[in-house]
């Protein structure tokens, strides 16, 4: 059993994946040989998960795992998102500790030895947290604001910059794998499982090549997901708003009655009426939206679909080598399997 598994989700990382692999292997070999002699060279595995890339990343991974026994891979049938890719990687990993990393070298491999050293001190989660150097001013401001909001609203603690670059001990991984939800907001899940966690900060690095897959809209939706998947406070807020409205309406009614008693009948306030109606209508629609959002989530979860569909893995390709293109006019039946449960996959 390897000591450490590195899990790397990759989506269209054709340009960097080989550099990444070479850098990581060099760093790990140097670190492990320094720590435990030549035998330690075999003490790790790198689990790549191709998240339905369309740019040849899969072929590169196939070649990598063919040439290096420590590299394994699984490939999805389409793009299922980074959260699903990380889940697949965690299920694949056999090591006694797992390090999650991005493929674009934004999570510097040179930091892995430091992470492993901290793991050696007995921590179950070692978090490498990036600072925001090099980010745009607007983006930095917005993220700060978001994290401030999240800290007030969420039941779990989420730290700015502390993302997916982290080590999880075997029991932390097993705890994560017991969480069955479909909508996986991993920043929240990491914090939900608890355990002793240590964090250190490193200087932010820009992506080595390729482009980020997180545009403004995707980030916004991710933010909303995060807020909604860890609490039901928006619903509570709706109740509070309703209560306050009833109270103020009562106050206003009393005030009007008093006005009539003191100074006779007043002219009717059409403007007030319209303003109140539109305002109330808006609040009702917004509240319905909040409820709808939760109902949608319930609907989504009750379908109990697997998180992803596997197209191929290194092991499946070895077991059944590809048929030469000329020999088969009809494409071979897809070997798609539904994602296995967490227990079965770590044989």
Q: Looking at beta carbons only, is 88 or 238 nearer to ligand UDP?
A: 88
Angle among Cα 54, 336, 313 to the nearest 5 degrees reads 70
CB of 147 to ligand UDP, least distance (A): 15
Among 5, 7, 13, 88, binds ligand UDP (CB under 6 A): 13
Site string for Mg ion, 202-231 (x = CB under 5 A): -----x------------------------
CB of 79 to ligand UDP, least distance (A): 5
Q: Looking at beta carbons only, is 61 or 97 nearer to ligand UDP?
A: 61
Residue recorded with tokens 């499982």:
193
Q: Looking at beta carbons only, is 195 or 214 nearer to ligand UDP?
A: 214
CB of 211 to ligand UDP, least distance (A): 7
Q: How far apart are CA 124 and CA 2, in angstroms?
A: 17
Site string for ligand UDP, 83-102 (x = CB under 6 A): --x----------------x
Contacts with ligand UDP in 37-76 (CB under 6 A)?
A: 51
Judged by CB under 6 A, the stretch of 66-74, 130-138, 210-218, 234-242 that binds ligand UDP is 210-218
Q: Looking at beta carbons only, is 213 or 233 nearer to ligand UDP?
A: 213
Contacts with ligand UDP in 111-170 (CB under 6 A)?
A: none
Among 19, 23, 27, 106, binds ligand UDP (CB under 6 A): 106
Question: What is the distance, to the nearest Å, from the Cα of residue 319 to the centroid of all Cα atoms in its chain?
Answer: 32
Secondary structure (DSSP) of 197-244: EEEEEE-----SSS--S--HHHHHHHHHHHHHHT--HHHHHHHHHHHH
| 106 belongs to the binding site for Mg ion (CB under 5 A) | yes
3-state SS of 134-178?
CCCHHHHHHHHHHHHHHHHHCCCCCCCCEEEEEEEEHHHHHHHHC
Tokens of 268: 């009717």
Q: How far apart are CA 156 and CA 92, in angstroms?
A: 27
**Reduced to 3 states, what is the DSSP secondary structure of residue 66?**
helix
| 10 belongs to the binding site for ligand UDP (CB under 6 A) | yes
Q: Looking at beta carbons only, is 163 or 238 nearer to ligand UDP?
A: 163
CB of 51 to ligand UDP, least distance (A): 4
Which helix (H) or strand (E) element contains residue 314? helix 314-319
Q: How far apart are CA 344 and CA 347, in angstroms?
A: 6
Q: Are 75 and 308 in contact (CB under 8 A)?
A: no
Backbone angles phi, psi at 269, to 5 degrees: -100, 85
Q: Looking at beta carbons only, is 123 or 308 nearer to ligand UDP?
A: 308
**Reduced to 3 states, what is the DSSP secondary structure of residue 118?**
helix
Tokens of 15: 């340009």
Among 32, 46, 88, 104, binds ligand UDP (CB under 6 A): 104
Instruction: Name the residue with the smallest CB distance to ligand UDP.
Output: 212
Which helix (H) or strand (E) element contains residue 47? strand 44-50
CB of 246 to ligand UDP, least distance (A): 44
Which helix (H) or strand (E) element contains residue 291? helix 270-302
CB of 160 to Mg ion, least distance (A): 16
| 13 belongs to the binding site for Mg ion (CB under 5 A) | no
Which residues are registered as beta bridge partners of 162?
129
CB of 272 to ligand UDP, least distance (A): 49
Among 104, 124, 164, 312, binds Mg ion (CB under 5 A): 104
What does the binding site for ligand UDP look like in residue numbers (CB under 6 A)?
Answer: 9-11, 13, 51, 79, 81-82, 85, 102-104, 106, 207, 212-214
What does the binding site for Mg ion look like in residue numbers (CB under 5 A)?
Answer: 104, 106, 207
């Amino acid at each position: 059993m390897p000591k450490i598994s590195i899990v790397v989700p990759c989506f269209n990382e054709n340009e960097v994946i080989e550099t990444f692999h070479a850098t990581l292997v060099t760093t790990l070999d140097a670190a492990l040989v320094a720590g435990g002699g030549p035998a330690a060279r075999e003490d790790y595995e790198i689990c790549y998960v191709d998240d339905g890339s369309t740019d040849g990343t899969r072929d590169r991974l196939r070649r990598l795992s063919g040439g290096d026994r420590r590299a394994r891979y699984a490939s999805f049938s389409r793009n299922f998102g980074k959260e699903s890719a990380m889940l697949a990687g965690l299920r694949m990993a056999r090591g006694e500790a797992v390090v999650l990393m991005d493929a674009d070298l934004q999570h510097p491999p040179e930091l892995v030895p430091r992470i492993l050293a901290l793991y050696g001190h007995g921590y179950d989660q070692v978090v490498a947290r990036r600072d925001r150097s090099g980010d745009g001013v607007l983006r930095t401001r917005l993220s700060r604001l978001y994290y401030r909001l999240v800290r007030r609203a969420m039941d779990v603690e989420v730290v700015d910059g502390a993302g997916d670059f982290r080590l999880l001990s075997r029991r932390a991984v097993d705890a994560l794998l017991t969480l069955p939800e479909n909508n996986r907001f991993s920043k929240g899940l990491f914090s939900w499982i608890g355990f002793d966690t240590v964090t250190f900060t490193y200087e932010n690095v820009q992506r080595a090549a390729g482009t980020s897959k997180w545009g403004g809209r995707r980030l916004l939706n991710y933010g909303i997901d995060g807020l909604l998947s860890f609490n039901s406070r928006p619903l509570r807020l709706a109740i509070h708003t309703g209560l306050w409205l009833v109270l103020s309406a009562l106050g206003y009614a009393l005030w009007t009655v008093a006005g009539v008693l003191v100074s006779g009948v007043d002219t009717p306030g059409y403007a007030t009426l319209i303003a109140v109606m539109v305002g109330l209508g808006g609040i009702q629609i917004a509240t319905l939206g909040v409820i709808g959002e939760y109902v949608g989530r319930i609907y989504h979860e009750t379908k109990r679909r697997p998180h992803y569909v596997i197209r191929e893995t290194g092991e499946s390709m070895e077991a059944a080598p590809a048929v030469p293109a000329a020999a088969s006019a009809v494409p071979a039946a897809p070997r798609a399997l539904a994602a296995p449960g967490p227990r079965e996959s770590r044989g």
